[in-house]
């Protein structure tokens, strides 16, 4: 347990607790509406409430920008969030260590499952080009990356993973209305269990509304949110594979001179 580290929102002076809010109330603009907005803020626990702006957003709606101060404080040290933690090898080095430690190409199958047609995420990770200057899995000599694209049924994805003996399956979900992403993820996990490939495959969930914690809860090995680079995923898969083979690597210098890594993360909560 780490030491107490109390923090509060910070606007202009440390610990002033300032927050800014914007919202709409379904009433026409009026002094009464303004007071209603101030009361919303007060009931949220804010003091020093300032309704900075009230504008008519159509006849029957008022748009507000409100500032206030919150008195809450929390112990930052007490917050625990599981994260995918691993050391990272640069591109060439990762290829080399995979060749050395795994001795064959790592097979990865990826797809947007269910009705989702937003392939931006899966493409960013898998396609040759990659994302933000970071090469995609297809570019790695030691990865065989199979991108099934959009609107893939969970069963079809499992079938493909079994057919190619995938080491890892990457699932991307962008549409999250009514938690449809969780529903599809559960269907996938069930299908994988039935096909008896759940335990021997690494399951990775990605998307803008996905975090590692949710992914773990759904039965996946890891979750990757926005900003994830292909090299994060590539390194994660490599270390996870080693770990699953009971061969978490001993630190040793590599051909590139950087210290080899030891897997640190992905512990289940």
Partner 1 sequence: MAELFVEPGKVVRARELAQKAARGVQSFIDRHSTVAIERTVLRLLGIGGAGARGAPLANLLVDKLRDAKVLHKGAAWWMGRALKASPGRDPLQAIERIAARPEKLPPLTPAEDAELRETIRADARAAARELRDKIEKRKELKRSLQVGSFPGAPWKYVIVATGNIHDDVEQARAAAQQGADVIAVIRSTAQSLLDYVPHGPTTEGYGGTYATQENFRIMREALDEVSRQLGRYVHLTNYSSGLCMPEIAYMAAAERLDMLLNDAMYGILFRDINMQRTFCDQYFSRRICAFAEIIINTGEDNYITTADADEAAHTVIASQLVNEGFAHLAGMPEELIGFGHSFEIDPAREDTLLREFAMAMMVRELFPRSPIKYMPPTKHKEGDIFFSHAYDVMSDLVAISTRQGIQLLGMMTEAMHNPFLMDRYVALKAASYVYRAARHLGDEISFKPDGIVARRQREVFDKALALLEEVAKDGMMAAIGKARFGDTARTETGGKGLDGVFERAPDYFNPFLEILESDRRAEGASGRAPLGGEGQA
CA distances from 203 to 52, 53, 218, 223, 254 (A): 48, 47, 10, 9, 28
Which range, of 39-47, 114-122, 198-206, 236-244, touches partner 1 by CB under 8 A? 114-122
Q: What amino acid positions are annotated as catalytic residues?
A: 129
| Number of Cβ within a 10 Å radius of residue 161 | 26
Count CA atoms closer than 13 A to 5's CA, side-chain side: 7
Minimal distance in Å, beta carbon 63 to partner 1? Answer: 5
Which residue from 9, 11, 82, 208 is in contact with partner 1, where contact means CB under 8 A?
208
Q: Binding pattern to partner 1, positions 15-34, x when CB under 8 A?
A: -------xxx----------
Q: What whole-number distance in Å separates Cα of residue 114 and Cα of residue 64?
A: 38
Point out which span in 57-65, 102-110, 228-236, 242-250 binds partner 1 (CB under 8 A).
Answer: 57-65
Q: Is 60 in the site for partner 1 (CB under 8 A)?
A: yes
The two structure tokens encoding residue 218:
């759904």
Taking CB under 8 A as the binding criterion, the range among 44-52, 105-113, 120-128, 254-262 that sits at the site for partner 1 is 120-128
Distance (Å, rounded) from C-alpha 198 to C-alpha 190? 9
If one asks whether residue 196 binds partner 1 (CB under 8 A), the answer comes out as no
CB of 151 to partner 1, least distance (A): 7
Which residue's CB is nearer to partner 1, number 123 or number 167? Answer: 123
Alpha carbon distance 5, 211 (integer Å): 24
Neighbours of 150 (CB within 10 A): 18
DSSP letter at 208 equals: T
Q: Is 187 in the site for partner 1 (CB under 8 A)?
A: no
Tell me the angle at which helices 154-163 and 180-194 cross, rounded to the nearest 10 degrees. Answer: 40
CA torsion, points 111, 108, 135, 95, in degrees to nearest 10? Answer: 180
Q: Is 59 in the site for partner 1 (CB under 8 A)?
A: yes
The residue range among 41-49, 109-117, 192-200, 251-259 that interacts with partner 1, by the rule CB under 8 A, is: 109-117
Total interface residues for partner 1 by CB under 8 A? 31
Report, in Å, the least distance between residue 13 CB and partner 1: 21
125 binding partner 1? (CB under 8 A): no
Which residues are CB-neighbours of 257 under 8 A, at least 6 positions away? none
Assess 226 for contact with partner 1 (CB under 8 A). Answer: yes
Residue numbers of the site for partner 1 (CB under 8 A)? Answer: 22-24, 55, 57-61, 63, 115-117, 119-120, 123, 127, 129, 132, 149-151, 174-175, 177-178, 180, 208-209, 226-227
């Amino acid at each position: 347990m780490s030491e107490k580290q109390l923090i509060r929102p910070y606007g202009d002076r440390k610990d002033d607790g300032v927050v800014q809010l914007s919202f709409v109330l379904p009433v026409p603009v009026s002094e009464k509406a303004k007071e209603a907005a101030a009361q919303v803020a007060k009931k949220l626990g804010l003091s020093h409430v300032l309704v900075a702006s009230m504008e008519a957003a159509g006849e029957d709606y008022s748009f507000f920008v409100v500032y206030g101060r919150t008195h809450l404080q929390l112990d930052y040290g007490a917050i625990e969030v599981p994260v995918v933690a691993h050391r990272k090898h640069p591109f060439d080095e990762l290829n080399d260590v995979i060749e050395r430690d795994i001795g064959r190409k790592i097979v990865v199958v990826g797809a947007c499952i269910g009705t989702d047609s937003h392939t931006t995420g899966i493409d960013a990770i898998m396609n040759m080009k990659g994302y933000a200057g970071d090469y995609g899995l297809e570019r790695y000599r030691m990865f065989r990356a199979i991108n099934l694209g959009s609107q893939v049924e969970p069963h079809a994805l499992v079938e493909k993973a079994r057919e190619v003996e995938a080491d890892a399956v990457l699932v991307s979900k962008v549409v999250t209305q009514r938690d449809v992403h969780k529903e599809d993820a559960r269907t996938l996990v069930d299908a994988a269990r039935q096909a008896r490939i759940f335990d021997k495959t690494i399951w990775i969930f990605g998307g803008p509304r996905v975090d590692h914690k949710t992914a773990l809860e759904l039965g996946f090995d890891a979750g990757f949110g926005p900003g994830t680079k292909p090299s994060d995923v590539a390194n994660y898969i490599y270390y996870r594979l080693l770990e699953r083979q009971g061969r978490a690597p001993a630190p040793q210098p590599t051909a590139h001179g950087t210290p080899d890594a030891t897997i640190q993360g992905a512990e289940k909560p």
